[in-house]
Structure 1
């Protein structure tokens, strides 16, 4: 059974001599020790940030044993695993990561949590901008996301009606995601404008079933592009945050908060709300099932999510950089 893990600098010429052999003899008296030896040249990746659906998660949009084991292995090396998602994440545990300490850049970068699930940074919408949006579209069911949960201006039926524009397969997938929805906090329907504005709203989601109303909302957002940005993972959705708020900027903020350079960050994504993140970082990877835009933004394409391409790539990166050696 492994009882210790040690990071060592890159091996020098003297390590091949008797001195290094003697040190191995000494530590090998313990049942098993894992040595992580860094390769020379270039910074090590210390923070792995990944989108969830279509990227880190499997084909069923959830965590399985392969993903969980990879998360444990990544964190065990001292590296950080960050969930960079449009979802509202209260706790990584609720998404299936059990007791693994994982940071979250949730709600398209507007809410950042540490490995214990505590909020360390928010980027809220301007209340005046939010009020104007709701007044301008009183018949749209807005899902207004705060750090503690979602406050929805319509009824549950209004909210579900927005999914009718999806194709059959997409509706089945989205229904499954909603049924397995974890970590999103409380959800309150039929909220008045005053009730919504009483909370720190960081992101607004909505689906519009009327083509004319959809065009009006897109035109409104285009007119307010100096204050609001729409970056949906699905073209039939709206995911609205304050301008300048996105996964890429928030992953960079978190890296700096943890003391890492952007060159020590690797990011993974597959779709529209990942583009800024994929374009920003040197070490960027898109899944094979991702959009053409995501692949161009990343520059490097790995395998599909349903073959666990992302967790496998993360582990390969760690092995390549740290030269894992197990001494029995």
Structure 2
């Protein structure tokens, strides 16, 4: 039986309409694994945020491809940000609510309350109902109220920040344009997700496929945001919900019914039967 690799984004793709896992998704992943089809998360999220969703241990691609780990947590591929650029960005924009993502969690100079408020503003701008009650779980990997020196002592893989209509954000965009060593590949327009230019989900999926010895024509990728385009450009089997961003739908080899919150796990099962 051929071994298959299904690499999937989370929000707007593999997760349900509440941006959570459920029994159909988790059991579906277990069923696929039992039939030689490995589901690998390929996300902009950090490790702690993925763990909070209930996924079982396995290979994972984190922070938009800046870090890929095998089942034992060993690094397969990584592309951290240059520490000098992290320092420059922090000092140039001290007023922006940056979240600095590491392999162990997310660091910020903001308080817990400010972190939650920033998330709520992003969530509201997406047109979503206000969220309540799950922040301890969601932000369990966050360390708040840190000093500049504490953050700069860590290896930073990705920097998140709210995208607002403000002078600060316009200045940040000008800074990004002047620094091609870093890229902004956000999951949507309300957020900055800054990584090294060497970090892409596509390269991380390829590194993982090579590590597992799975041919590229036995890989399928799933996503809905700009940060997923690099996967679609490298792999011929690419799938996007019809609710995906226009550029992603245009790049996909096929579209899925975005009104079905389980369209991705169901498509994976269909592919496993077809490709077996």
- Superposition pairs for residues 60-139 of structure 1, below 5 Å? 60-90=18-48, 93-97=51-55, 100-139=56-95
Q: What does residue 269 of structure 1 align with?
A: 223
* TM-score normalised over the length of structure 2: 0.90
- Which structure 1 residue ranges, 5 or more long, are not aligned? 1-6, 8-43, 323-328
- Superposition pairs for residues 192-231 of structure 1, below 5 Å? 192-209=147-164, 211-225=166-180, 227-231=181-185
- Residues 215-241 of structure 1, C-alpha deviation per residue, up to 9 Å, x if partnerless? 11111101112x001011121210000
- Structure 2 SS opposite 1:307: coil
Are residues 1:310 and 2:264 paired?
yes
- Residues 184-227 of structure 1, C-alpha deviation per residue, up to 9 Å, x if partnerless? 763111222211111111110011445211111111101112x0
Q: 1:221 to 1:48 in 2, by over 3 A?
A: same
* TM-score normalised over the length of structure 1: 0.77
Larger Rg: 1
Deviation at 1:105, TM superposition (A): 0.3
Q: Take 1:180 and 1:170, find their aligned partners in 2: how far apart are those partners?
A: 23
Q: Take 1:305 and 1:238, find their aligned partners in 2: how far apart are those partners?
A: 27
Q: 1:166 to 1:70 in 2, by over 3 A?
A: closer
Deviation at 1:83, TM superposition (A): 0.2
- Superposition pairs for residues 288-327 of structure 1, below 5 Å? 288-304=242-258, 306-322=260-276
Q: 1:214 to 1:125 in 2, by over 3 A?
A: same
How many residues are paired up? Answer: 275
Q: 1:68 to 1:152 in 2, by over 3 A?
A: same
> Contact 2:116–2:135 (CA<8 Å) still a contact in 1?
no
- Superposition pairs for residues 137-286 of structure 1, below 5 Å? 137-162=93-118, 163-164=120-121, 167=124, 170-172=127-129, 175=131, 179=135, 181-182=137-138, 186-209=141-164, 211-225=166-180, 227-286=181-240
Are residues 1:50 and 2:8 paired?
yes
